[in-house]
Amino acid sequence: MSVNPKSKLVKEVLDLKKVGQAPTRNGYGEGLVEAGRKDKNVVVLCADLTESTRSEAFAKEFPERFVQMGVAEQNMASVASGMAAVGKIPFISSYAMFSPGRNWEQIRTTICYNERHVIIGGAHAGVSVGPDGATHQAIEDIAITRVLPNMTVIVPCDAVEAKKATVASVGLKGAVYLRFAREKTPVFTTDKTPFKVGRAEILWDSSGSPSLRSGRSRLDVAVIACGPLVHNALLAAADLEKKGIKVRVINNHTIKPMDEKTILKAAKDAGALVTVEEHQINGGMGSAVAEIITRNYPVPIEFVGVKNRFGESGEPTELIEHFGMSSKHIIEAARRAIKRK
């Protein structure tokens, strides 16, 4: 889906005073209820974080299909694997730091190795967890899940897309990791916005006319982002566009399996890429993009994300700025990538 950067809708989406905001975890909670209504085999397990993970709505509507596991993430993964073995479709909910963090081995061995269809809902991911600090800020979870065989990894960009991803995960095979944030972030997609697991979506494309910068290529740079930081990528694109730099923004919500066709086309059209994620740049979404690019069509890439350090306590917006993931830093990365062409 290509977006006209000058449309009224886009202007409203880019206005932080007008755009609606909600945590992506809210979409998970709404999606659980919808999935439960559609399929009686859907069950939800939670590790004593029912309100925080937004599993409470499902627990209220389907109490007979909800299991409170207590603070026992390892047991939760193994129990879910057993449920999946007899035909249930389990969702397991906790903070991402604990699931898939604390129970990674159980997810690997009892779920992925046995090819069980279990959906892992990891809430409070990224540094935007805020004051809870480094111990609760999962910034390694994409890396540890995408490496596992029989695992799909999805990072929704907003609450609407999170709901779609949650419902869609029921129809997938094998393990699925859904990554959610705690803080309210802009809701910039709608029920009509296209979403399909494994297919990236173009949310901004200014390649309709020759580049004002070069006069030749259709694009100067493509920004590939996932999660709530996709909105920061859109803000950066709007600023770059004003300066005559042609940009494409891709919502790369499915980290595994990644949409190689869309990624490679962006590399060929732009000749320079920027990846954006609220995660370590080592092993995350950007690394997965680099793996595709280096095998097929090498171009300069700049990585926006956490750079080999742990999180800190602070206000969410301050932390995004402090760790170099704001729109300002995306703009700087885009300029560096273009310069390296």
* 144/223 same-domain check: no
**pLDDT in the model for residue 210:** 39
pLDDT of 31 higher than 50: yes
Residue-by-residue DSSP string for 6-18:
TSHHHHHHH-TTT
- Is residue 328 included in any domain, yes or no? yes
* 172/29 same-domain check: yes
Q: Which residue has the higher pLDDT, 70 or 9?
A: 70
**pLDDT in the model for residue 14:** 87
- Is residue 2 included in any domain, yes or no? no
Torsion of CA 339, 268, 308, 140, to 10 degrees: 160
The domain of 180 spans: 21-186
Reported as half-sphere exposure (CB side, CA atoms, 13 A), residue 28 has a value of 32
* 140/228 same-domain check: no
Instruction: Report the CATH number at residue 126.
Output: 3.40.50.970
pLDDT of 10 higher than 90: no
- Is residue 142 included in any domain, yes or no? yes
- Is residue 77 included in any domain, yes or no? yes
* 79/211 same-domain check: no
CA 165 to chain centre: 10
Could you tell me what percent of the chain has a pLDDT over 90? 91
* 163/98 same-domain check: yes
Q: Look at residues 137, 165, 186 and tell me which one is the last residue of a structural domain.
A: 186
| Tens digits of residue pLDDT in 53-110 | 999 999 999 999 999 999 999 999 999 999 999 999 999 999 999 999 999 999 999 9
* 107/234 same-domain check: no
Catalytic residue among 12, 34, 51, 73: 73
**Token pair listed for 191:** 């029920």
Nearest residue to 110 (alpha-carbon basis) of 147, 138, 85, 135: 85
Q: Look at residues 144, 168, 186 and tell me which one is the last residue of a structural domain.
A: 186
Residue 73 annotated to the active site? yes
Distance CA 230, CA 272 (A): 18
DSSP strand pairing (254-256 vs 151-154): antiparallel
- The total domain count for the chain is 2
Instruction: Report the CATH number at residue 248.
Output: 3.40.50.920
**pLDDT in the model for residue 67:** 98
* 153/56 same-domain check: yes
- Is residue 269 included in any domain, yes or no? yes
* 140/256 same-domain check: no
* 161/242 same-domain check: no
Mean pLDDT for 192-210 is: 86
| Tens digits of residue pLDDT in 165-176 | 999 999 999 999
- Is residue 3 included in any domain, yes or no? no
* 216/303 same-domain check: yes
Q: Look at residues 186, 214, 249 and tell me which one is the last residue of a structural domain.
A: 186
pLDDT of 2 higher than 50: no
* 178/197 same-domain check: no
* 166/222 same-domain check: no
- Is residue 34 included in any domain, yes or no? yes
- Is residue 1 included in any domain, yes or no? no
